[in-house]
Amino acid sequence: MLMKLTSRSVSLVPIVSTVAAVALGATLIVTATANAATTLGAAAAQSGRYFGTAVAASKLGDQTYVNLLNTEFNMVTAENEMKWDATEPNRGQFNYSGGDRILNQAVSNGKRVRGHALLWYQQEPGWAQRMEGSDLRQAMMNHVTQVATHYKGKIYAWDVVNEAFADGGSGGRRDSNLQRTGNDWIEAAFRAARAADPGAKLCYNDYNTDGVNPKSTGIYNMVRDFKSRGVPIDCVGFQSHLTNNPPGDYQANLQRFADLGVEVQITELDIAGNQQANAYGVVTKACMAVRACAGITTWGIRDTDSWRGGENPLLFTGSGAKKPAYTAVLDALNAGGPGPTTTTTTTTTTSNGPGPGPGDCTATVSLNQWAEGFVATIKVTAGSAALHGWRVTTTLSNGTVTNSWSANRSGTSGTVSWTNVDYNANVPAGQSTEFGFQGTGNGSGLNPSCAAS
């Protein structure tokens, strides 16, 4: 309110008849407005980020909870409802009631959804807990495919694999029946998820990764390996269940992952301890300082919603009042930082003869550009007739493709051609499919053109 009054009084000043004074007045108004966001979601959105929370379907009838959810947050994670035990209680029998409820509530209120989690050694349904080996591997991959397909096109990012690394000094994988199906289970899961929902970002998510330590380094090495071999991974989730300040290298750790070319996300933030407000500020500032940090999710809304009973680790009291930690987060979001620069450009091309006809398609690009590189997602849309194969050409003048998914590639810079893979050749009339690639350098000016083949 104070900012608003200040900006109004400044805007009255231009009675002084110099252009400079008018311009100064205008500038100040813009700045004050941009800094005046009063909710977490709106404050995060100023730098292109999101601010989310875990939601429990059972609480969607609680008016205080829903009011805070709808007012403060623009991203939602199902706390339990999209996990394996909830979505496939019996082998091959899927139940999406809780997950759908959360998703529909979020989407109808303009929020996006993080999917959590396709494979996790905990909350496996009983039938899967009793399985091993190739039978389990098949069930796991079917689970990934079925759930990602059910939510296709609706999920911003999936935690494809959750908590697969061991605590302590080994830097290696955690033992589980999932792990015992073979060390390649994680990449197999990522590939299955990409095939099922090419539009979702695919994340690896874990805890005790709040600084450079053996566990986070083990994950870092896996992500680097995945990137070098073209395994489709787009993001790493840092759960950040903390007590007081994170380690001093929290931001540096986020940055080293970002430098591998993945988005980083703070996925389950809650902080206990008497330095809570300060610690929330430190974590939020760290995300704001890392361009590829796309957003923050707290693991619940009010202290009474937390899984950490009695520790009061969240931003709102049990009665829904804002805590000092809330103000620390809001201020850090409002202070700004380098945003993930997402630009969307649209290019339409191709027609076989005049007007729309069989074989038409269009290609549009959504570009996520950061200082050193970019991820481009290309959407191929069929015209008035179905496609049975397609070719897209892009121009990459100042960059090099390092990794791509869901298309065959010819070339890495300059004119690069992309053709469908088996599973996305057929696109019904008016429908779309997506492929993507990552590169170093600048991805602007891709100017995609599409042709049926």
Active site residues: 268
Task: Give the sheet arrangement for strand 373-382, strand by strand.
Answer: 341-347, 361-369, 373-382, 432-442, 398-405
9: which 2 tokens? 């009084």
**Using rule CB under 6 A, residue 123 touches ligand 9MR:** yes
Q: Kindly tell me which residue out of 129, 249, 307, 449 binds ligand 9MR, with binding defined by CB under 6 A.
A: 307
According to CB under 6 A, which residues from 136 to 165 bind ligand 9MR?
162
Indicate the residue among 304 and 449 with the shorter CB distance to ligand 9MR.
Answer: 304
SS3 label, residue 127: helix
Residue pair 296/49 in contact (Cβ under 8 Å)? The answer is: yes
Output 11 or 179, the one with its CB closest to ligand 9MR: 179
Strands 75-78 and 112-120, by their bridges, are parallel
Amino acid at 61: G
CB 169 → ligand 9MR: shortest distance, Å?
Answer: 21
The strand ranges marked E within 7-154 are 50-55, 75-78, 112-120
Instruction: Find the helix or strand (DSSP H, E) in which 203 lies.
Output: strand 201-206
| For ligand 9MR, the closer CB: 43 or 186 | 186
- Contact between 243 and ligand 9MR per CB under 6 A: no
Amino acid at 14: P
Q: Residue 146 is encoded by which pair of tokens? A: 């079925």
Q: How far is the CB of 48 from ligand 9MR (least distance, A)?
A: 26
Binding-residue total with ligand 9MR (CB under 6 A): 9
64 vs 123, beta carbon nearer ligand 9MR:
123
- CA–CA distances in Å: residue 1 to residues 14, 44, 322, 373: 22, 19, 17, 40
Token pair, residue 134, equals 């190739």
Question: Nearest approach, Cβ of 355 to ligand 9MR (angstroms)?
Answer: 52
- What minimum distance in Å lies between the beta carbon of 249 and ligand 9MR? 22
**Binder among 234, 268, 305, 434 for ligand 9MR (CB under 6 A):** 268
Comparing CB distances to ligand 9MR, the nearer of 162 and 432 is 162
Instruction: Check binding of 350 to ligand 9MR (CB under 6 A).
Output: no
- Our finding on whether 11 is near ligand 9MR (CB under 6 A) is no
Closer Cβ to ligand 9MR, 82 or 195, answer by number: 82
Does 122 interact with ligand 9MR (rule: CB under 6 A)? yes
- Per the CB < 8 A criterion, the answer to whether 242 and 270 are in contact is yes
Any contact of residue 311 with ligand 9MR (CB under 6 A)? no
Shortest Cβ contact with ligand 9MR: which residue? 307
List the one residue from 7, 146, 239, 312 that touches ligand 9MR (CB under 6 A). 239
What is the rounded (10 degree) CA torsion for 441, 447, 451, 453?
-10
Extract the tokens encoding 158. Answer: 């999936």
* Helix (H), strand (E), coil (C) string for 275-342: CHHHHHHHHHHHHHHCCCEEEEEECCCEHHHCCCCCCCCCCECCCCCECHHHHHHHHHHHCCCCCCEE
Binding mask 191-210 for ligand 9MR (x = CB under 6 A): ----------------x---
Helix/strand/coil percent split, the chain, to 5 = 35, 30, 35
Shortest separation between residue 324's beta carbon and ligand 9MR, angstroms:
24
Please report how close the Cβ of residue 23 comes to ligand 9MR at its closest, in angstroms: 51
Interface with ligand 9MR (CB under 6 A), residue from 7, 47, 80, 265: 80
79 binds ligand 9MR (CB under 6 A): yes
Smallest separation (angstroms) from ligand 9MR to the CB of 103: 17
Residues in the site for ligand 9MR, rule: CB under 6 A? 79-80, 122-123, 162, 207, 239, 268, 307
